[in-house]
Amino acid sequence: MMIKIIKKTIILSSLCSLFTVPAILADNNKLESLTPSTNIIEEPFTLDDTQPKRLKITVNIYSPEDIQVKEGEIIKKGDIISDRTLLRKNLENQLRSTKLALNNIKSSKVLEPIRPIPTPPIQNLPPANFAQEEAQVETAELEYVQAQRAYSLALENDPFISIKAKVNHQQTEVEEAIKEVQKQGQKTASIAMINNLPPEVMEHEKYKLGQKQSELSKQQANFDLTQAELKQVQENRIIELQNLQDKVNSARAKLELANAKLRKAKSDRSLLEYNHSINTTIRIEEANQAQIAYNRQLQEYQQQVRDKEYKITQLTDSVSNLEDKLKQIAVVKSPYSGQIKKIKYENQTDNTIKVEITLVPDNEK
């Protein structure tokens, strides 16, 4: 039987690309890409054989845990020899965390700010009206002018003219009567000194003297009565002028009070207009501040919406990348049934460990 020596070399390769995880998975950022290669070298076999005598399988791994077989272990065709368990677990953990973060962000709500309620405008003040106060001032001014006029007329009108003339006239009559009495008395005294004067003459003169004295008494009584009337008129005059003066003072006080009320009404109106202006300004400022706050909150809301959409996009891409990376992780399976003869760790480059696994198929056991 002719034996033909054939040597086969099968090279299997897979590539794991670099990936970036979201910020929430920063603890896994230390994972680096690995481009492993798996070489299976079959030693010579004959055409009558269906299996090689010995296979040397070279794999690149992250850690010894990636080797799923042990020296001396009997395996079957299709059993896993090498699997990047740590990388797979890390990627699966990242995928779960990323999906959880994605679901949390999708379920989170960004509350839209409430538009500020329009501030009701302050009603305008009614037109200023001082008609009542001004009417009171006009009435008080009229009463004051009338009181002054009455007082002035009273001062100009002299009620003593006639009675003073009467007093003066009666005083003159009294003085004349006194003179007549004195004259008659002197005459009577002179006649009394004349000797041998008939008694009738003396009696006549005495009678005349009595008449003169009676006339004087009458004139004096009239004069006293007129003086009493003058005194009464003077007292009445004083009372009248005092009453008129009191009316002037009262009218003046009433006018001053009316003017004070008018000034107060205008002052109150000015204060009311000032407060209205202040309140209007405050209301406008409050409305402006509310609108500014709403605009700021609206901008923040829009930014939060954009951030949410951006994060959803990022996390969605991360989920896709992680799923792709999981699909791309190479799993080395045994092409034959047999026994693991030897596991040799050859060298390490960066994070990659090169391992040579020797498999003896069943026909060489």
What's the confidence (pLDDT) of residue 135?
Answer: 96
* 5-34 per-position pLDDT tens digit: 223 322 222 222 223 333 333 333 444 444
In this structure, the answer to whether residues 246 and 164 fall within a common structural domain is: yes
What's the confidence (pLDDT) of residue 323?
Answer: 93
In this structure, the answer to whether residues 66 and 156 fall within a common structural domain is: no
Residue 87 covered by a domain: yes
Q: Coil, helix or strand for 76?
A: coil
Query: How many domains are there within the chain?
Result: 2
In this structure, the answer to whether residues 79 and 143 fall within a common structural domain is: no
**Token pair of 152, please?**
């002035």
The CATH number for 253's domain is 1.10.287
Are residues 67 and 346 in contact, defined by beta-carbon separation less than 8 angstroms?
A: no
Closest of 144, 37, 57, 148 to residue 334, by C-alpha: 57
Residue 119 covered by a domain: no
Residue 180 covered by a domain: yes
DSSP string, 322-356: HHHHHHH--EEE-SS-EEEEEEEEEEEETTEEEEE
Report CA-CA distances (Å) from 297 to 112, 262, 269, 302, 342. Answer: 8, 52, 41, 9, 68
SS3 content of the chain, % helix, strand, coil (to 5): 60, 15, 25
Residue 318 covered by a domain: no
Residue ranges of the chain with per-residue pLDDT less than 50: 1-37, 42-48, 364-365
What's the confidence (pLDDT) of residue 251?
Answer: 95
In this structure, the answer to whether residues 105 and 151 fall within a common structural domain is: no
Residue 58 covered by a domain: yes
Residue 3 covered by a domain: no
In this structure, the answer to whether residues 83 and 144 fall within a common structural domain is: no
Q: Quick one: CA dihedral 267, 269, 274, 278, positive or negative? A: positive
Report CA-CA distances (Å) from 250 to 80, 133, 245. Answer: 125, 18, 8
Provide Rg for the chain, Cα atoms: 71
In this structure, the answer to whether residues 145 and 265 fall within a common structural domain is: yes
Under DSSP, the state recorded for 364 is G
Residue 322 covered by a domain: no
What's the confidence (pLDDT) of residue 23?
Answer: 38
Domain range enclosing 139:
131-305
In this structure, the answer to whether residues 273 and 349 fall within a common structural domain is: no
Question: Which residues on neighbouring strands pair with residue 59, listed in sequence order?
Answer: 355
* 213-245 per-position pLDDT tens digit: 888 888 888 888 888 887 888 888 889 899 999
Are residues 253 and 261 in contact, defined by beta-carbon separation less than 8 angstroms?
A: no
